[in-house]
Structure 1
Amino acid sequence: MSGTKPHPRSRLTPRLTRRLVKLYAGLSLYGASSALMVSAGLGPEPWNVLNQGLSERTGLTIGVVSIVVGAAVLLLWIPLRQRPGLGTVSNVFVCGLAMDATLALLPDVHTLAVRVPLLAVGTVLNGVATGLYITAAFGPGPRDGLMTGLHARTGRSIRLIRTSIEVAVVATGFALGGTVGVGTVLYALSIGPLAQFFLRRFAAPAPAPATSAVVASGGPSEQAILHP
């Protein structure tokens, strides 16, 4: 019949495609933006202080170390009974590979006139990347899931847990030879407002099943991450 309505599944395909594009664009951009901050040499984000320190000790590239650390953090989800999603597993691999690929393309920079803009651009792009991959709603990254899992298990505030984890990560990374500097502080102060801004920019009205999928995957909501 000419008046037959299209099958509902056919209307979901473009939405799913858009979500996948947002996920992998966000994760790739996250790795690339992290590489910009590392290359600036003024102090990367907290977890990359740890990755950088381990890279110095092991001789592995920082991207490979990021993958190994992400996988190790993911193992900690097991006792916390967190369930990973596609975005969780993709986060482990895509960010590390994108970071190494970007670092391989970047020239060495020595002057502050280049390093400071590199740091600023990397920080802003990291906020863009965060907004993209979280609003794709395929599950949280390993570190976000660790944070919300500990929150659920201990009853402590997300603010306290996130701060405690990142202080421990920075201290360990610094002890191993990672760089802590103005960039680390700038990131800590700016990533919340930046991520919140871009979450609002990239968020789109989603049907109920998409919303419930984030919960089912054990993922934190945008409010849980940015409004502790």
Structure 2
Amino acid sequence: MRQATSTTEGHPVSTPSESAPAGGPGSGRLPRRLVQLYIGLAVYGASAAFMVEAGFGLEPWGVLHQGLAERTGLTIGVVSIIVGAAVLLLWIPLRQRPGLGTVSNVFVVGLAMDGTLALVPDVHSLAVRIPLLVAGVVLNGVATGLYISASFGPGPRDGLMTGLHRRTGRSVRLVRTVLEVAVVVTGFALGGTVGIGTVLYAVAIGPLAQFFLRVFAARPEPAVSAVVAPGQPEHAILPG
């Protein structure tokens, strides 16, 4: 099976190609992949909302979204949608091609985030906020494994990183670092929250994403032959 490089909103990984040949290991699994995609995106938005409620700091793009929400009066979910759409426009000069997962990412994550924030009451006790932070980070890893393994295309921010990597010739790690430092600094200046949650996310999301990518990778269809090709990523290019 051909492999395509995708990322976990900043962490590039190798995943099975969306355009697997007909009759191959990915054929006949479209309904499962669609369910996996949309559950993953919804859980991603919910996990981001948990981190917002915990109040210990957000992941890099979340800091920017929160800062813009503070300045504009829009909800953080709506800001996430607007930023995602704006980033997607930057794909045009980079000659990136969005997939169903790319467009869905823009809308579903933001809607799920606002929906979760509306349902979860404000918390102030550390006894609740700490577990909420941990749950947010872990669920983010689960969501990443779900939607990337569905192989419907990377998120808009991921595609921006990989597109810049191809156009500039710089390493993905360098491009990711520059972009994420820029969005964190900008978001913090606008009023976004940076803290221990931001650090925990940076340290934990790589290993978590890699683990859940293996858990949720599509298994090959049963075949008459005893030889079956593996259907999960062999490795991920993740920061150590």
- The amino acid of 2:64's aligned partner reads L
- The amino acid of 2:182's aligned partner reads A
1:27/1:222 Cα in 2 relative to 1: closer, same or farther (>3 Å)? Answer: farther
Residue 109 of structure 2 corresponds to: 95
Residue 107 of structure 1 corresponds to: 121
The C-alpha deviation readout for 1:62-93, integer Å capped at 9, x for no partner, is 00000000001101101110000000000000
Q: Distance in 2 between matches of 1:149 and 1:201?
A: 27
Shift of 1:164: 1.1
Using the size of structure 2 for normalisation, the TM-score is 0.82
Shift of 1:14: 4.8
Residue 59 of structure 2 corresponds to: 45
Residue 208 of structure 2 corresponds to: 194
Shift of 1:163: 1.1
Q: Distance in 2 between matches of 1:224 and 1:164?
A: 21
- The amino acid of 1:146's aligned partner reads L
Q: Distance in 2 between matches of 1:222 and 1:77?
A: 28
Alignment partner of 2:179 out of 157, 165, 169: 165
Q: Distance in 1 between matches of 2:26 and 2:49?
A: 35
Q: Distance in 2 between matches of 1:222 and 1:38?
A: 33
- 1:37-76 superposed matches below 5 A: 37-76=51-90
- The amino acid of 1:180's aligned partner reads V
Shift of 1:206: 5.4
Counterpart contact for 2:26–2:218, Cα < 8 Å: no
- The amino acid of 1:43's aligned partner reads G
Task: List alignment gaps of at least 5 residues for structure 2.
Answer: 1-21, 222-232
The C-alpha deviation readout for 1:96-128, integer Å capped at 9, x for no partner, is 000000000011101111111000000000000
- The amino acid of 2:60's aligned partner reads P
Counterpart contact for 1:53–1:174, Cα < 8 Å: yes
Q: Distance in 2 between matches of 1:224 and 1:84?
A: 21
Counterpart contact for 2:210–2:236, Cα < 8 Å: no
Count of residue pairs brought into register by the alignment: 207
Residue 226 of structure 1 corresponds to: 238
Residue 159 of structure 2 corresponds to residue 145 of structure 1: yes
Q: Distance in 2 between matches of 1:118 and 1:222?
A: 32
Q: Distance in 2 between matches of 1:183 and 1:119?
A: 7
Range that drifts further, 150-159 or 85-94: 150-159
- The amino acid of 2:121's aligned partner reads P
> Which has more helix, going by share of residues?
1
- The amino acid of 2:209's aligned partner reads A
Residue 17 of structure 1 corresponds to: 31
Shift of 1:225: 5.5
Q: Distance in 2 between matches of 1:171 and 1:223?
A: 31
1:222/1:128 Cα in 2 relative to 1: closer, same or farther (>3 Å)? Answer: farther
Q: Distance in 2 between matches of 1:25 and 1:206?
A: 21
The C-alpha deviation readout for 1:38-71, integer Å capped at 9, x for no partner, is 0000101111100000000000000000000000
Residue 125 of structure 1 corresponds to: 139
Task: List alignment gaps of at least 5 residues for structure 1.
Answer: 1-7, 208-220
> Which has more strand, going by share of residues?
2
- The amino acid of 2:238's aligned partner reads L
Residue 95 of structure 2 corresponds to: 81
State the secondary structure of the residue aligned to 1:204.
coil
